Amino acid sequence: MNTQLRIAIVGAGPGGLTLARILHLHGIATTVFEQESHPLERPQGGTLDLHEDSGLRALRQAGLMDAVLAIARYEDQGSRLLDKAANVLFEDQDAASGDRPEVDRTALRAMLLQALPASCVRWGCAMREVQARADGRWNLLFGHGSEGPFDLVVGADGAWSRIRPLLSPYRPQYSGLTFIECGIDDVDRSHPALAQLVGRGKMGVEADGKEIIAQRNGNAHIRAYAIFRVPADWAARRFDLASPAAMRVELIKEFDGFAPEILDLFRASNDHFAIRPICALPVGHCWPSRRGLTLLGDAAHVMSPFGGDGVNNAMFDAAELARLLIERTDWAAAVAEYETLMFARIVESAEGAAEGAATQLSHVGQELTLAMYRSHAGWNQDEIHPFA
C-alpha cells in the first residue's frame, strides 16, 4: 500500500487504537480523532475477557503480547451462579486455568496509547460530519473547523457512529433489556463478604424476571449490573441518577426478596450509577462498499454483551483491515475485501448475542442459565452466558 495515503480514524476505542497501532508498526501513519478531551476523561467501563482467536490474535499482530501479559488477569476467569437466597447453584473454581484472561478497559486503552506516538491521537475532537470533496476524498468537520483531505476515513466511533449513516440506513434497536450499572471499590478490605460473594470472576443471580451480574475488575473493584426487561424509557422515569442515595434505595426495592447479602452490592455501591439500554444492529448488517469510507467494531455491528465478543470483534476487525491494507497494492480494493470478510465473520457472534439477549429473563431464565453453565462446565466457553 502507498504509505502516503492519508487515513483518519474516528474514535480512540479499542478498535480504532488497534488499527492505528498495527498500521504504525508497518510505517503507515494515521490520525485518530477522539471526542474525549484526554484518556481519563471518563471511566472506560468494566472488565473484558480477551479471546484467543480474535482479541488476543489482534494484539499479537500489534506486537503487544508482553504488554498484554502485564495487564491480563488470568486469575479472574471464574464464574458463579446463585439463586436469590444466595445458595450456590454453580461454581467454576478453577478460575486461573482458562485461556480468556480479563483486562480492564482503562488498562487496555492505556496499553494501546503507549504503543502509539503521542501525536497520533487528537483529543477533544468530536467529529460532527463527514463531507465529500469534489476530488473523491473526504473532509471531517469539527467544532473547531474542518480537517482533511483524507483518502480513507475509518469509523471506529462506536454504537452511535456518525459515519455509519453515510453507508447504511440502519440504527441500533433497543433489545428490551436495560442495565443499571454500579460499582463497589476496595472490596477486599472494605467489603470482604462481597468479594467472596462475587468470587474471582463473575457472579450471576436471576429470579422474578430480574437479574444481577457482578464482575470482579482490577484494583479490587466490582462492577455490577441490575438487569431488567422493560420499555426503553422505563429506567429514566424510574430512577434518579442525580441522587445516588435514592438509587441504592430504589434498586434494593426492585430486588425485594433477594438475600440481604446480595442486596449489599447496591448498599456498598459508590456514587457512579449509569443507565445502559442495550441496543444492537440487525444480525447480518452490511452495506455496499463506498470508496474512502468504512466502519469497524461497534460502529459496524454493535450487539448485546451476551456472548462477550464486542471488544474482541472490534480489535479483530482492526487487525484484518490493517492486514489487508498492508498486503494489497490497491487500498480501496483492500477495504472492500475487509468488509466482505467482516460481514460474513460477524454473523455467528451477532446471532449468539441476539439469542443471548432474547433468552434473558424468561420465565425459565435461571433454569436455562444453570443448564447452560452445567453443559459447558467442560468448557466450551463460547456459549457461556452472560459476558462469556
Q: What are the residues binding ligand FAD (CB under 6 A)?
A: 10-16, 33-36, 48, 125-127, 156-158, 162, 179, 276, 297-299, 305, 308-312, 314, 387
Round to whole Å and give the CA distance between 22 and 1. Answer: 14
Report the residue number, 281 or 299, with the smaller CB distance to ligand FAD: 299
> Is 330 annotated among the ligand-binding residues?
no
Report the residue number, 100 or 191, with the smaller CB distance to ligand FAD: 100
* Beta-bridge partner residues of 223: 183, 215
Round to whole Å and give the CA distance between 229 and 24. Answer: 44
Cell output for 152 = 480513507
Closest CB 260 distance from ligand FAD, rounded Å: 26
Report the residue number, 197 or 299, with the smaller CB distance to ligand FAD: 299
Burial class (CB in 10 A: 0-12, 13-18, 19+), 361: buried
Report the residue number, 4 or 119, with the smaller CB distance to ligand FAD: 119
Q: List C-alpha distances in Å: 196 to 136, 148, 189, 192, 256.
A: 59, 53, 12, 6, 22
Round to whole Å and give the CA distance between 244 and 222. Answer: 17
> Is 105 annotated among the ligand-binding residues?
yes
Closest CB 277 distance from ligand FAD, rounded Å: 9
Report the residue number, 139 or 328, with the smaller CB distance to ligand FAD: 139
Q: Computed from CA positions of residues 101, 103, 109, 112, in that sequence, does the dihedral angle turn out positive or negative? A: negative
Round to whole Å and give the CA distance between 132 and 140. Answer: 9
- List, in order, residues 6 or more apart from 37 with CB less than 8 Å away: 123, 124
Closest CB 179 distance from ligand FAD, rounded Å: 5
Closest CB 86 distance from ligand FAD, rounded Å: 24
Report the residue number, 292 or 310, with the smaller CB distance to ligand FAD: 310
Closest CB 321 distance from ligand FAD, rounded Å: 12
Cβ-based neighbour number of residue 179 at 10 Å: 18
> Is 237 annotated among the ligand-binding residues?
no
Report the residue number, 118 or 245, with the smaller CB distance to ligand FAD: 118
Closest CB 268 distance from ligand FAD, rounded Å: 20
> Is 73 annotated among the ligand-binding residues?
no
Task: Reply yes or no: is the peptide bond before residue 149 cis, omega within 30 of 0.
Answer: yes
According to DSSP, residue 51 is labeled P
Report the residue number, 238 or 276, with the smaller CB distance to ligand FAD: 276
- List, in order, residues 6 or more apart from 361 with CB less than 8 Å away: 177, 206, 209, 210, 211, 227, 228, 229
Is the Cβ–Cβ distance between 104 and 46 less than 8 Å? Answer: yes
Closest CB 140 distance from ligand FAD, rounded Å: 9
Angle between helix 310-327 and helix 14-25 axes, rounded to 10 deg: 30
Round to whole Å and give the CA distance between 357 and 34. Answer: 30
Closest CB 157 distance from ligand FAD, rounded Å: 4
Annotated binding site for FAD: 49, 105, 298
Binding-site residues from annotation = 42, 49, 105, 298
* Residue positions forming the annotated binding site for NADPH: 42
